[in-house]
């Protein structure tokens, strides 16, 4: 599943093209679940911030946040997450922060610049409470 989402995110460089594609499916190794509902979702990855539709499997005992974790994404909230960060992004930030002293603010600004061409307006919602 992690590879599936990673390849989808790397193949699509614009938010609109990602949004026009099929939704991402969690909880069943990337396969659609007949008992799932469409959720608008923001995925933050090392190549930018993506707004897309996702489906969480509703016939598994795993919560949405658990399904995200199993697929390699850290949910922004535990209950009813609407945003998640890839483990790749978080590890990249950890290394930049530790080795190059890149601040969280500057890292978010860089991500926003990567997404600016995608017409994404999320920098304040990512950094401010």
Minimum distance from residue 58 beta carbon to Zn ion (Å): 6
Beta bridge partners of 39: 54
Count of Cβ atoms closer than 10 Å to residue 115 Cβ = 21
- Please list every residue from 60 through 119 that binds Zn ion, using CB under 5 A: none
Judged by CB, which is closer to Zn ion: 33, or 96?
33
Minimum distance from residue 28 beta carbon to Zn ion (Å): 6
Beta bridge partners of 41: 52
Judged by CB, which is closer to Zn ion: 46, or 62?
62
Torsion of CA 100, 121, 6, 68, to 10 degrees: 100
Judged by CB, which is closer to Zn ion: 41, or 93?
41
Structure tokens at 106: 């500057």
DSSP character at residue 22? P
Site string for Zn ion, 23-62 (x = CB under 5 A): ----------x-----------------------x-x---
Helix (DSSP H) and strand (DSSP E) numbers for the chain: 6, 5
Judged by CB, which is closer to Zn ion: 49, or 57?
57
Interface ranges with Zn ion (CB under 5 A): 33, 57, 59
């Amino acid at each position: 599943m992690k590879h599936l989402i990673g390849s989808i995110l790397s193949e699509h460089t614009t938010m609109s093209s990602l949004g026009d594609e099929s939704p991402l499916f969690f909880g069943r190794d990337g396969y659609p679940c007949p008992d799932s509902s469409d959720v608008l979702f923001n995925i933050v990855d090392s190549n930018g911030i993506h707004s897309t539709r996702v489906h969480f499997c509703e016939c598994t005992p795993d919560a949405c946040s658990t399904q995200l974790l199993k697929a390699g994404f850290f949910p922004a909230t535990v209950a009813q997450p609407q945003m998640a960060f890839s483990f790749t992004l978080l590890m990249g930030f950890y290394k930049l922060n530790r080795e190059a002293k890149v601040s969280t603010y500057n890292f978010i600004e860089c991500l926003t610049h990567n997404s600016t061409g995608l017409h994404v307006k999320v920098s304040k919602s990512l950094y401010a409470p």
